[in-house]
Chains A and B, each alone.
Chain A
Amino acid sequence: MNLPTKALLGALILGISTVAHAQLAWEKTEIEVNPPAGADAAVATFKYENKGKTPINIKAVRTSCGCTTAALKKNDVAPGEKGEIVATFKPGDNTGLIQKTVTVETDDPKSLQTILTLKANVVRLLELQPAFVFWQANEDPKPKTIVAKAGKGVTIKSLEVTSSTPDFTTKVEPGSTAGEFKIIVQPRETSHQLDANLTIKPDSSVSPGKVFNASARVIPGAS
């Protein structure tokens, strides 16, 4: 047996034996969850078991951001004992596939550090395209359109749009498909700088009271 072959076999045997004798065994180290639209939290439960013959101490549990918490009932895990870490991610205004991690540190020499991954598919309640409309100074004050579209599986009956200033008028029209609306925005004039925040309130059973913002501006020319 030549040297590279021995090295390869050695690495394989070492790798396999490390996995086989790891004491703190995790049922899964990666969990993907699909919270319902509008949910304020995505929760994943990571279960473990001490499959070794000596107690293990979980020294620390750290999350990748302040938006994620990890709850552990007890730090000491006796041989044969099972337990779990409950990771809770608060999506806020994040959307899409979000990945957060929980790092678990133990005194088990075979698993000193384990990274648990929580993946959450966060459904957007309402998509605004674009969320910003603007006119240059002295541009023709033609209306511009923001398309508001309900997220997947979300039913929106109507939209209420209000401008923070009377300098812009807004009008809501039905879009080309169900759950789609056109928000028509128009400035009264474009001779000087104007700024407005458009408050968009969808009438939906999901997250009632949730408000979205868009911006409309008349931008002054370079001086």
Chain B
Amino acid sequence: MRALLRQSLLILGLACLPAAGEALYLRDKVSWQSPIPASEMVTVADARGWGSNAIWVDARHEEEFSNEHVPGAILLNGDRWNDLLPQVLAAWSPGKRIVVYCSSVSCGSSREVASRLRKEAELKNVFVLEGGWEAWRETTKK
């Protein structure tokens, strides 16, 4: 019986080896796997409380943005970063806070956009909206 258990555990351990190897190999490459620090997230309620001090940035694809978006939001995504970034910068001024959102289902893009705004444009106070577009829509329905 013990031998069987040992063998089972050995099989399980062997099965975990490739996963552990991949996790180690990709630890620096897959940025979206690590959680977003709480200080870089904002809830819908808090972001709405910022009023005109908030610049809403929609990181979804253009079709989704065209269908519906947060009033006053500016489209910015990796597909057309070069063309779209100047519009966000034109709206920015020191003291303003940027709230980036995408669909909560695929919210990797809001994180990417927020990160690029911090690194490439050197903007501070850039936040990712908790729950994304769906959270905003749910909250505003109430």
Contact = CB atoms under 8 A, between A and B. Distances in A.
B89 A93 contact: no
A93 B80 contact: yes
B123 interface: yes
Nearest to B89: A215
Interface string B54-91: 00000001110000000000000011111101100110
Nearest to B26: A97
A18 interface: no
B5 interface: yes
A97 B29 contact: yes
Interface residues of B, number: 33
Main secondary structure of the interface of B (DSSP, over half): helix
A3 interface: no
Q: How large is the interface on A (under 10, 10 to 19, 20 to 34, 35 or more residues)?
A: 35 or more
Interface in A144-191: none
Contacts, number: 79
Contact of A213 (B83, B93, B108): B83
B81 A93 contact: yes
B121 A132 contact: yes
Interface string A119-153: 00000000011111000100000000000000000
Nearest to A128: B120
Given A128-B120, A131-B85, A217-B89, A67 B80 contact: no
Contact of B86 (A12, A65, A213): A213
6 contacts: A8-B5, A66-B63, A96-B31, A132-B122, A136-B94, A213-B83
Interface of A: 1-2, 5, 8-9, 12, 64-67, 90-99, 128-132, 136, 195, 197, 211-213, 215, 217, 219-220, 222
